[in-house]
Structure 1
Amino acid sequence: MANLVRTESADGILTVTLNRPETLNSLTSEACFELSDIFDRYENDDELRVAIITGAGDRAFCAGHDLADDISDPMPATGWAGLSHRSGLNKPLIAAVNGLALGGGWELAMLCDVVIADARASFGLPEPKVGFVALGGGARLLPHRVPHHIAMGLILTGRKLSAQDAANLGLVNEVSPPGKVLDTAKQWAEDMLTCSPLALRMSKQLAMASADPEILREQLQTLEIKMTEELSGSQDAKEGMAAFKEKRPPRWTGR
């Protein structure tokens, strides 16, 4: 199988490209393990100082978990996309959102430190529409990023946000002109390269600790794992996937 993720490094910047444009760069379990290994190497390579994550093609950044994947397949210990349960990665991560960022795709962007969005990009958490919950960090992180009712409206409806609406809510740092998102992300990366690597690591470590106390984070991660186990065998999860594949409205049972 071709690489599910491509990497390129130059001048201290690691560019990570989700490489499944034919499936809107959706991620499989295998891709999550691949990403986990990539972020391990990034963390331990002193020559790499900033990482940019983007998607292949111009349609999607990432459409989340590939629904054709077996939902019972294992995930890395570092969690969704190798990031959601990771601790200790104190180097900067920039999301260059070049198109759709849905479900786990938006969660991947939320797990980054800076989010740059193409003007044509959009964001959403549609998991409940297919019998799932945003367990890759979305339901946990979004209520801390925007006002309560905004977060709940997005979580409970699966409605999408445009890039500009996301920026207006503070969920995106900058909206780039169409087709220029990677260039804009690299400008941010170059600004970071002018800073002390040690100071950046310490700044991120302190900011993350203050925003997400360890004890609460561990409790929420434990809850996410428990919910994942319960949902993976549920009738609603199976029905949601079947309905999606058969292009019909799902018939929920609540079990």
Structure 2
Amino acid sequence: MLTEIADHIAPHCPETPRLDAEVLLAEVLGTDKAGLYRSFHDLVPVFARNRLRELVQRRIKKEPISYILGRKEFWSLVFSVGPDVMVPRPDTEVLVEEALRAVPLETRCSILDIGTGSGAIAVALAKERPAAIITATDISASALETAKRNAALNHVTAITFRHGDLFDPVRDREHNFDLIVSNPPYIPTDETSRLPKGLRDYEPYSAFDGGPDGLALYRRIIREAPRYLKADGILMVEVGYDQSTAVSNLIREAGGFRPPETVRDLSGLERVVKAQMERL
């Protein structure tokens, strides 16, 4: 049956048809990949076949697997995802790793996550740094509801969620944060039409459109961050594969920061740009 499912998916989603087939069949059978192969020769119940047919039809329309399942693993945690939020990507774990390096384990530091989306970054940081005081903001009210569910799903209570655009929800907290993190939209507008169909047609447009040059949100974040960072506070952002130089230059031009640094992902691409406030 797996081969049959994979063959049906392959013409439409040629990247990982076998894996897609395994994931979808395991889902309808209520098992994992190992359990799937242990019961490989068992008959698939009629109700499961009907459900499987529905899921396969969604997949051949290029709907992301994570939306079909309603969940995505990130930082070894499970997150609820749907069309209100972008699916967390493995690349973003580089930002989490770097943030954790900046935050000592038992320190009661204050962290702001701008554009939290599914809450993946904020929840991962809260799990690893339980003493931290974390605030997560998003312009999308529905995204914030998803983030709140994910905090509850992962038994995290130390996050305050605020609704609004970038820093608007924290105007009352100037010079309050030790660390500001963000994975803002960074795809140039004229490139969005060339994105893979699964991303373009299913994930929220506002989560990936970064304006004419992809840097619109970075400009705003970098310009306003010094107002909300403590002395020696750190700004840390994820960037597109070819944007580290441009974002670093924006930080230099803004003033108030020490020289920015970049962090590479496992593919060797500069994925995170960070800068610490300059001492006065």
The TM-score range, normalised by the shorter chain, is under 0.3
Higher RCO (CA-CA < 8 Å; seq separation 6+) = 1
- For normalisation by structure 1, the TM-score amounts to 0.27
- For normalisation by structure 2, the TM-score amounts to 0.25
